[in-house]
Structure 1
Amino acid sequence: MTHQPGALPGATATHPVLRVPPAAPAEAVAHFGASLAFHTDVSDIAAALDAGTDPGFVLLDSRSTESWEQGHIPGAVHLPTALVAERAPRLLDPAVPVVTYCWGPGCNGAARAALALAGLGYQVKEMLGGFEYWAREGFAYETRQGGERRAADPLTAPAGADACGC
């Protein structure tokens, strides 16, 4: 076995995973710490909302009215991204952090809403997974017809458990 150019010392072959070496631990701490300052996930939001106390943030659905009516997280504030600049000062307290969500991982509407809110001076995070993963993890949601809840998708949440354990 020979050492391949560009491989880590001691590695026997270059492959895509380690072709670019991992960051130094201090750089990883800075990166992942910064990521958590900008993002949260549906399980953490559900736990905060279910705690029975003020979660300390406002959950904001940045989708269209049609999307909101199709399904949204109970307790969320509806404020489409295009209306953030106009309506946020009337709907949101600048002293309370805002967590934005949109459809799902394939949509950047929550990031656009977060950017607009940050530009107005709000502290903001984005909920990873959006409404799609909220529903896929089996959390209750509201529609124009009333409340709904689907069984958790075992690919997104452990079957028969309340939390993923991560």
Structure 2
Amino acid sequence: MNISEMKQALTGLSAVNFRLPTGEQLPPHFHVTEVGLVSKHFIDCGGVERRETVANFQLWEAGDYDHRLAPQKFLHILNLSDRILGSEDLAIEVEYQQATIGKFGLTFDGTDFVLTAKQTACLAQDACGIPAAQQVALPQLQMAACTPGGGCC
């Protein structure tokens, strides 16, 4: 989801709700503590220089159980952040405190904003010599049993 999509979604809502990838709702008294611009300038393992820029939201909850962020207030915060984010329609990344700070993507299901799991990946698989047949998605790897001759050990 990008900034323009979020602004559009907020205009039609009566309440702002966020849901974790597990389906669990964030407590309704959450705060948006930051809206920022995060730029990453890096070199991948194949030696290619890359840049990535996202709009970053930090969600936080405190003991003020009566707090509710209205859609209009959130939209006002986003409009104030235009001077930081600029005019580019950036993708949104969300930080939320769990056992450690989690980073999530974001979608909207028509009612709730849904935090989506993010995965790491090798951006230069050909330079690393990773054959397509050996590329295993993380959920599959977690369930795979390592047996002699199975190629995983």
TM-score by length of 2: 0.23
Bigger helix share? 1
Q: In proportion to residue count, which structure has more strand? A: 2
Higher RCO structure, 1 or 2 (CA under 8 Å, sep 6+): 2
TM, length-normalised to structure 1 = 0.22
